[in-house]
């Protein structure tokens, strides 16, 4: 596993499923928490469409807590349940305040404006790709108490220190899109060009990245 080049380029680290060493408020996980093993590409679960959560049971809440701890322990800023081997529609995202939880997230609206940004993924250690995505999104989901929420990333910009820290200001939007993709079995290697994929096969350990998969 290649570690991120954080020391060389500290502000490069807009890495949602990847390490983000520059954010001090990411506390160390509590010692009693279970840290779940992360599924790495090409494990088949990463390609499966995840199932809706019918009810937010105590088991689901426990899974969410463990996902958050696992994300923080791995210096991630986002994580989807399939990445810890659970094919359910749950994602978590880190901010400098409380982590955000989205159960059965659905992207309701996307801004026309797009932005190219670098993404990493805990399921692809060491791989960082430039991916174009809508700059802002609106998401519908359930919160950890099973309550319906609507969430617009644009509104959160001024409130989220994650975004204040990085001038691009679209990290949270990108995290949500990246993690929601995971729930449909879509990975960062599906969001790049044929030629970028070819380069990955030739130059990284991910030699199984196919020519076209979306």
**Considering the complex, what minimum distance in angstroms separates the CB of residue 83 from Zn ion?**
6
Identify which of residues 13 and 121 has a Cβ nearer to Zn ion in the complex.
121
C-alpha to C-alpha distance for 214 and 20, rounded to whole angstroms: 28
C-beta of residue 177 within 8 angstroms of C-beta of residue 78: no
Identify which of residues 103 and 187 has a Cβ nearer to Zn ion in the complex.
187
Rule CB under 5 A: say whether 129 interacts with Zn ion: no
Nearest to 206 by CA among 194, 182, 189, 181: 189
Rule CB under 5 A: say whether 121 interacts with Zn ion: yes
| Residues in 23-82 at the binding interface with Zn ion, rule: CB under 5 A | none
71-110 footprint of Zn ion as x/- string (CB under 5 A)? ----------------------------------------
Identify which of residues 121 and 141 has a Cβ nearer to Zn ion in the complex.
121
Rule CB under 5 A: say whether 189 interacts with Zn ion: no
- Which residues have CB under 8 Å from 113's CB, separation 6+? 134, 135, 136
* 119 catalytic residue (yes or no): no
Which range touches Zn ion (CB under 5 A), out of 51-59, 94-102, 119-127, 204-212?
Answer: 119-127
C-alpha to C-alpha distance for 203 and 199, rounded to whole angstroms: 6
Rule CB under 5 A: say whether 17 interacts with Zn ion: yes
Identify which of residues 115 and 190 has a Cβ nearer to Zn ion in the complex.
190
C-alpha to C-alpha distance for 150 and 165, rounded to whole angstroms: 24
C-alpha to C-alpha distance for 136 and 143, rounded to whole angstroms: 20
**Helix residue spans in the chain (DSSP H):** 58-73, 153-156, 161-165, 171-183, 194-203
Rule CB under 5 A: say whether 192 interacts with Zn ion: no
Residues annotated catalytic, as ranges: 179
Which residues lie near Zn ion (CB under 5 A)? Answer: 17, 121
């Amino acid at each position: 596993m290649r570690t991120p080049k954080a020391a060389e380029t500290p502000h490069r680290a807009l890495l949602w499923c990847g390490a983000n060493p520059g954010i001090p408020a990411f506390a160390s996980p509590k010692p009693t928490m279970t840290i779940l093993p992360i599924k790495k590409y090409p494990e088949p679960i990463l390609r499966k469409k995840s199932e809706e959560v019918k009810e937010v049971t105590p088991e689901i809440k426990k899974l969410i807590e463990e996902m958050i701890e696992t994300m923080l322990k791995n210096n991630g800023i986002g994580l989807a349940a399939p990445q810890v081997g659970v094919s359910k529609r749950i994602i978590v995202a880190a901010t400098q305040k409380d982590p955000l939880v989205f159960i059965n997230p659905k992207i309701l609206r996307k801004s026309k404006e797009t932005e190219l940004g670098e993404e990493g993924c805990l399921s692809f250690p060491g791989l960082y790709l430039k991916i174009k995505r809508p700059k802002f999104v609106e998401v519908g989901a359930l919160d950890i108490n099973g309550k319906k929420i609507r969430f617009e990333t644009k509104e959160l910009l001024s409130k989220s220190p994650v975004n204040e820290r990085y001038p691009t200001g679209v990290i949270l939007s990108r995290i949500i899109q990246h993690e929601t993709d995971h729930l449909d079995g879509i990975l960062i290697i599906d969001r790049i060009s044929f030629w970028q994929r070819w380069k990955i096969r030739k130059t990284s350990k991910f030699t199984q990245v196919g020519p076209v998969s979306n």
